[in-house]
Amino acid sequence: MTSIAQTPEDALRTWFPSTPGFRDRQRDALERIWNGRSILLLMPTGVGKSIVYQLPVLAGGGIGVIISPLIALMQQQAQILSDLGAITLSLSGRDAKDAQEALRDFPWSREPAFLFVSPERVETDGYLEHLLRKNKRFITLVAVDEAHCISQWGHDFRPPYKAIPNFLDRAFGNSSWPPVVCLTATLNRNSQAEILADFRLDSSDVIRSHSMLRTNLDLSFRIIESNEEKLQALENVLDQYRGQKIIVYTHLKQNKKWGTRALSAHFLQRGIRCAPFDADLAMTDKDKTLEDFSIGSVDVVFATGAFGMGVDISDIRGVIHFLIPESLEQYYQEVGRAGRDGAPAFGILLYTRTNAKVRRDLIRVAGRSREQVWDVWNNDVANGKASLRSISPWLSFQSKDAEYAIFYAFQRVGALNIVARGPGRLNSFEPRGPGGTEFLLRLNAATRIGNVTAAIRKLGLNPSDTMDQLFSLYDKGEIKLVRSPDKTLLFTTRELRDQEVEDLVKVISEMVDERLRGFDGFVALIEAGTDPSAALDAWFGAN
């Protein structure tokens, strides 16, 4: 990271003149980044974590690479920064062909600039890796937003986050990363330790807010005897706050009575302007719901945890939990999406013992037996005798996060090694020059089905070098992209040992047990009539 001539205070006045000064731990975090240090920043939702990665890039120039799981948030942040005069490119939500062409045309030498990418793209996009390696001198920092998704101990674990450290190694070298800024609202002890280990940080790199709980939230737990009574209570609350923006977390998708869509249909009939939001809905439907909620044409969103994380809607007046969250930590993250504008807001948790059983069952299904781990190895990893294989995680592990996590556990123990990322099919490209013609002809001659991995294997080529050559020819116009490329991971394996499987099963079991203990502790607080704010104050003190 190049030195920044301005002080953080001068930079704030230059780029955000309407902001009166730094809040909370922003200044402490920026001082470390100004000095080229990586950090893990824990600050409440709505306090202003984004300025911590934006300001060093705006003030010092160069490019900030922002890794975020949230399409809407990336688009919002990109628009804000563009309005400030920065160059921005948000790749999420784009067709794969369009995204690759936008990357090719990105002005790497102009500054300040921001590149917003999803963890899924980081995991599989070899062209992105190629460009970062080629232009690494321009990279000011890498920000990893919603960093709690990295942890397998947490409720929001997102497996592609586990690919980020390897991606940084391949793009920058394992001892020459730019400053990495991990941001989230809160972490438990196990999750924090995992993130520190993954990103090569230590406890001195953790910056935690002085006060993690916002005082404008009126929080309550309500114990109810049956689901029918709970539905009536929800009707009463939504009638009381009719016309105000509210998120109702059902945490179930297609449950015929209590899922996002069933409840949305029920309340539409009652005249509530509402919509469902869950991971299985079409992207266009999710985008429309987010837009309608943001501008106020929808008042209530019935959602799973897929909604709200990081979305910058400041005037949400309430969060209602119709199904109990997994932990006090999840409760805090979700209820914190209300009242980001500082005005009074509320959080109401409607609790029944039946729902507690549902949640326990949802946690227990994350456990895996020895046989299930071997099935992932034999069916998804070591199928066949080839020394070099490829996999498309999005296709192989769609809606199978437990198996997805095991795939990364195999890498952690060294049984699986990712050697390259890139397209799986040669027919995504056509030659446009002599170099491209020679390259594609050679590869196509080595495979009857146009499979890139098969061609590399047959010709005995270095996978990483071959992908770099393909991307370089594309950069030079020697190869043209004619259809959206699929994205695969090329990998090698060694024999998986029985003891490694036993150890993995044990670790997964410990994670499930820890999550159950956290949940049971949360339930005990609710059933004891504990004040939520007091419970959160005590929890932050323990963490």
**Whether pLDDT at 311 is above 60:** yes
C-alpha to C-alpha distances, 290 to 239, 250, 371, 382, 384, nearest whole angstrom: 22, 17, 41, 41, 44
Domains, in order of start, for the chain: 8-208 (3.40.50.300), 220-363 (3.40.50.300), 370-498 (no CATH)
Question: Which pLDDT value is given to residue 543?
Answer: 59
Question: Which pLDDT value is given to residue 113?
Answer: 96
**DSSP assignment string, 147-168:** GGGG-TTSTT--GGGGGHHHHH
Interatomic CA distance for residues 518 and 448, integer angstroms: 54
Token pair listed for 280: 């299985």
Q: Do residues 295 and 154 make contact, with C-beta atoms less than 8 angstroms apart?
A: no
Amino acid in the structure at residue 463: P
pTM of the model: 0.87
Question: Which pLDDT value is given to residue 492?
Answer: 96
Question: Which pLDDT value is given to residue 537?
Answer: 82
**pLDDT tens, residue by residue, 349-376:** 999 998 899 889 989 988 999 999 999 9
**pLDDT tens, residue by residue, 518-534:** 999 999 999 999 999 88
Highest mean pLDDT among 52-61, 65-74, 182-191, 378-387: 52-61
Amino acid in the structure at residue 421: R
End-to-end CA distance of the chain: 32
Q: Do residues 268 and 274 make contact, with C-beta atoms less than 8 angstroms apart?
A: yes
Question: Which carries the bigger pLDDT value, residue 408 or residue 384?
Answer: 408
Interatomic CA distance for residues 310 and 333, integer angstroms: 10
When the pLDDT of each residue in the chain is averaged and rounded to a whole number, the result is 90
- C-alpha closest to that of 470 among 418, 427, 422, 419: 422
Token pair listed for 517: 């203990």
Token pair listed for 56: 């060093």
**pLDDT tens, residue by residue, 424-455:** 999 999 999 999 999 999 999 999 999 999 99
**pLDDT tens, residue by residue, 70-105:** 766 777 788 889 999 999 999 877 888 999 999 999
**DSSP assignment string, 269-328:** HTT--EEEE-TTS-HHHHHHHHHHHHHTS--EEEE-TTSSTT---TT--EEEESS--SSH
Question: Which pLDDT value is given to residue 207?
Answer: 94
**pLDDT tens, residue by residue, 180-218:** 999 988 777 888 899 999 999 999 999 998 777 778 899
Question: Which pLDDT value is given to residue 155?
Answer: 63
**Whether pLDDT at 313 is above 90:** no
The kind and range of the H/E element at 416 are strand 416-422
**pLDDT tens, residue by residue, 171-181:** 999 889 999 99
Token pair listed for 370: 């020895």
Question: Which pLDDT value is given to residue 483?
Answer: 92
Sheet holding 345-351, edge to edge: 217-223, 345-351, 318-321, 246-249, 300-303, 274-277
**pLDDT tens, residue by residue, 132-164:** 999 999 999 999 998 888 877 666 778 899 999
**Whether pLDDT at 392 is above 80:** yes
What is the CB neighbour count within 10 angstroms for residue 269? 7
**Whether pLDDT at 310 is above 60:** no
**Whether pLDDT at 499 is above 80:** yes
**Whether pLDDT at 253 is above 80:** no
The structure tokens 């409840």 sit at: 263
Interatomic CA distance for residues 354 and 526, integer angstroms: 14
**Whether pLDDT at 500 is above 80:** yes
Interatomic CA distance for residues 117 and 120, integer angstroms: 8
